Amino acid sequence: MAVPVKNPPRSSPSVYLISHEFFPKRGGIATFAEEMAGAAQEIGWEVEVWAQNRGDAAEPAWPFRIWRLPLKGTHDFSCQLRLAFHLISRRRELRRATVYLPEPGPMLTLMLLQRFHAFRPRNLILTFHGSEILKFYHNPFIRPLARRLIANATKISTLTTYTRDLLLGHFPEAESKLIKTPGALRSNYVVVDHPVPAERDRVVVLTVGRIHPRKGQRVTLQALQNLPDALRAKIEYWIVGASSRPNYEAELRAVAAATDFPVKFLGDLSDDALSRIYDQADIFAMTSVDHGHSVEGFGLVYLEASAHGLPIVGHAVGGVPEAVIEAQTGFLVPPHDQAGLAAALTKLINSESLRRTLGDTGRHWARRHTWRDSARTLFGEPDPSN
């Protein structure tokens, strides 16, 4: 979350950011939406966020205006209709503004409203993260609507070259509008450059991500199980993340129960608690895989781990090679290469100096981008005369 801006000028141009992925939801897209809203406000835009109902969670002190919509923020039709009603009811002000849709939920609603010429914002900006491209394209009803939405957009952004190429491969009409807005560390992310190392007998391998087949916890656990006895005696495996697939979690826990090294399920942690866990770990492993139409477009969590000085082990899939520098901040192996994965883990478990070298490089790498830079690329500089 960005640092609050005091008394933003009411006369500055307006940006309406509409998202179903926003606090208290967690994850890379929610972080991206929150940070882009805060960065746009910081550089001088007047931002109003429309977000899903927050439930019982207390509202943070955001640096921008926020309107909580009376909807859960799902992709079902009833939710789309409710959002459409609110868009239509405020169409006059939206017509004069920049409307920014950083995720697919509101995009689906706007697809339904495209036939109404009265509802056309002055500027329409879209951000694609990866999986939604495949889902839109492979749905024969949605595909032509997505093409029209892209045609009506002023700018379209992706976080990675991988996602850009994925979008162009399925919707080539986006080419003239494409820009790149890389993700960055959360603006309130506090990292100690040289934390005091924890004293323990085992090397901690950590995975952070929702418990879902695409995040590859089962793949990592299997690779750790396949290590020689002497290496397994040196390790423990920590899994952080909310459960999104109960059957998968049950299977994962059953496999973990049969291991001869400790496996801890730590659940969905607050940012402060997660920061402490990063500082207690030695290796970060997230072996993401393509899962149907779900892909890893980037993975902000790799940057978080690098910022804490953790060497990375992962798969060379999707946008991950743009978050991890091979042999400099970590090791990436092809999916399904269990021997290569075991070799990467073995190198890091056996060498504290290698872990430190890769981790030190990762600290600098993780800080190379800022949200302000991405906001300027996306929105430009506001014109005070407007």
State residue 11's pLDDT score.
47
Separation CA 181–CA 377 (nearest Å): 7
Separation CA 83–CA 67 (nearest Å): 12
**Cα three-residue angle 96-85-87, rounded to 5 degrees:** 20
E runs forming strands in the chain: 14-19, 46-51, 65-68, 98-101, 123-128, 155-158, 178-180, 203-208, 235-240, 263-267, 283-286, 312-315, 330-333
Separation CA 79–CA 68 (nearest Å): 14
Single-letter code of the amino acid located at 247: N
Q: What is the DSSP letter of 195?
A: P
Domains of the chain: 14-184+369-379 (3.40.50.2000), 203-366 (3.40.50.2000)
For the chain, 386 residues long, give each residue's pLDDT as a single digit of tens.
Answer: 444 444 444 444 699 999 999 999 988 999 999 999 999 999 999 999 999 999 999 999 999 999 999 999 888 888 999 999 999 999 989 989 999 999 999 999 999 998 777 678 999 999 999 999 999 999 999 999 999 999 999 999 999 999 999 999 999 999 999 999 999 999 887 666 656 566 678 999 999 999 999 999 999 999 999 999 999 999 999 999 998 888 999 999 999 999 999 999 999 999 889 999 999 999 999 999 998 888 899 989 999 999 999 999 999 999 999 999 999 999 999 999 999 999 999 999 999 999 999 999 999 999 999 999 999 999 999 876 65
Would you call 121 helix, strand, or coil by DSSP?
A: coil
Question: Token digits for 276?
Answer: 């402490």
Separation CA 152–CA 378 (nearest Å): 16
Would you call 187 helix, strand, or coil by DSSP?
A: coil
State residue 386's pLDDT score.
59
State residue 118's pLDDT score.
64
Task: Tell me the pTM.
Answer: 0.91
Burial group, residue 258, by CB count within 10 angstroms (0-12, 13-18, 19+): exposed
The percent helix, strand, coil of the chain (3-state, each to 5) is 40, 15, 40
